[in-house]
Amino acid sequence: MTNSSTNDIAERATSYTADMVQFLRDMIAIPSESGDEERVVRRAAEEMERVGFDEVKIDGFGNVLGRVGSGKTVIALDAHLDTVGIGDRSTFRFDPYAGIVENGIIFGRGASDQEGGMAAAVHGARIAKELGLLDGVSLWVTGTVMEEDCDGLCWQYILREGVLRPDVVISTEATNLAVYRGHRGRMEVEVRTQGRSAHGSAPERGINAIYKMAPIIEDISRHNDELVATADSFLGKGSVTISAIRSTSPSLCAVADSCTIHLDRRLTKGETERSALDAIAALPSVARAGATLSVLDYSRPTWRGLVYPTRKYYPTWLLDENHAALRAALDAGRCALGQTPEVGKWVFSTNGIATAGMFGIPTLGFGPGNEVHAHTPEDQCPIDHLTISARFYAAFSAAFTAQSR
């Protein structure tokens, strides 16, 4: 990237910052929890059309896809448009749907996770087109849905149904302006113990499933600590925590006849669905209780009414540190930041579990905002992060084609 091109990108990104701010505020103002994204999808499509994208479409899943350029190399900038809810509204200092701006920061649900990425990606692609930086490249911006509910399902649809097949994917999830090259996978597991009901006045006549579960809970806690033995030097250790517990009984005056716990299991490099399940099944308390294990399924309709079932197993992924896409990202980062960006990883999970983990497409991340604010009442995105991220997205296509020669 020449100094002239870098300067031109910077000037355009600065001149379009007000547009990015307004676009992000508009998206924040639209409640868009998983399954209810139609209005924010249509607002994103409107923005793509307004700034001169060559093609804009909404697929059968409900994702919006916009293209600039028409070359053989296909690059996708991915941003999910759904958000989590707000929980207790009183915990927010500002109206979570007002997109309040204070001291150069935009506050509101989705600002960091992750509609800020969409605002910067659309205008970064706009800049790349206007400055002629797409030689041999088709650059797509994908506004995907249902990620918060089932990360990667949107891309399972895109790739399995032949909507799009990129050569490389840039996730615009929040990275605090670092380049991220992977994250741990995850899976959702239920452990169930069976009991036998009896009248609560004579509990000795029954078998209490909650009591059978109690030592399993203790073993799960110890198992989490033991996972340090298989930690990866870059991604860290796997983890497991109990996120829910429930039981059944004929009444509140009866012995519980079943008990189920829900496990959030995070998977580091080298861990798989099978290895994680086997390790839990081998816990002494699980064997003694005759407990059963199951990986959950997901089958909720999108805003278009499509049900696209999947298992709740989301593979670990990690881009090789010598990959051409990473070298290109570092080049684009230097253009955007004026220095080499840090290289890191997400703590949470992204759509990369599908693009990279399931389908092997080189994937990495660069995005505005900091993931520590995701899902919190302090959800926010600094305005200068939008400007810098747009510079990165505008520069990446040319950097990638140069590194791939």
Q: Catalytic one among 78, 82, 151, 219?
A: 82
The secondary structure of residue 341, as a DSSP letter, is P
Q: How far apart are CA 380 and CA 107, in angstroms?
A: 4
Q: Cα separations (Å) of 350 from 180, 253, 344, 361?
A: 11, 44, 14, 14
- Which residues is 180 bridged to in the sheet? 344, 365
Active site residue 147: yes
Q: How far apart are CA 400 and CA 38, in angstroms?
A: 33
Q: Are 278 and 208 in contact (CB under 8 A)?
A: no
Residues near 158 by beta carbon (within 8 Å), at least 6 away in sequence: 59, 61, 63, 65, 142, 144, 164
Q: Catalytic one among 59, 78, 113, 147?
A: 147
Closest CA to 391 of 53, 131, 78: 131
Q: How far apart are CA 398 and CA 137, in angstroms?
A: 8
Closest CA to 293 of 217, 215, 190: 190
- Element at 59 (helix H, strand E): none
Other Cβ atoms closer than 10 A to 46: 14
Torsion angle defined by CA atoms of residues 78, 82, 83 and 85, in that order, rounded to the nearest 10 degrees: -170
Closest CA to 243 of 183, 191, 297, 310: 191
In the three-class reduction of DSSP (H, G, I as helix; E, B as strand; rest coil), residue 58 is classed as: strand
SS3 content of the chain, % helix, strand, coil (to 5): 40, 25, 40
Active site residue 82: yes
The number of CA neighbours under 13 Å toward the Cβ of 272 is 4
Q: How far apart are CA 288 and CA 351, in angstroms?
A: 38
Q: Which amino acid, residue 303? A: W
Q: Are 192 and 294 in contact (CB under 8 A)?
A: yes
* Residues with catalytic function: 82, 147
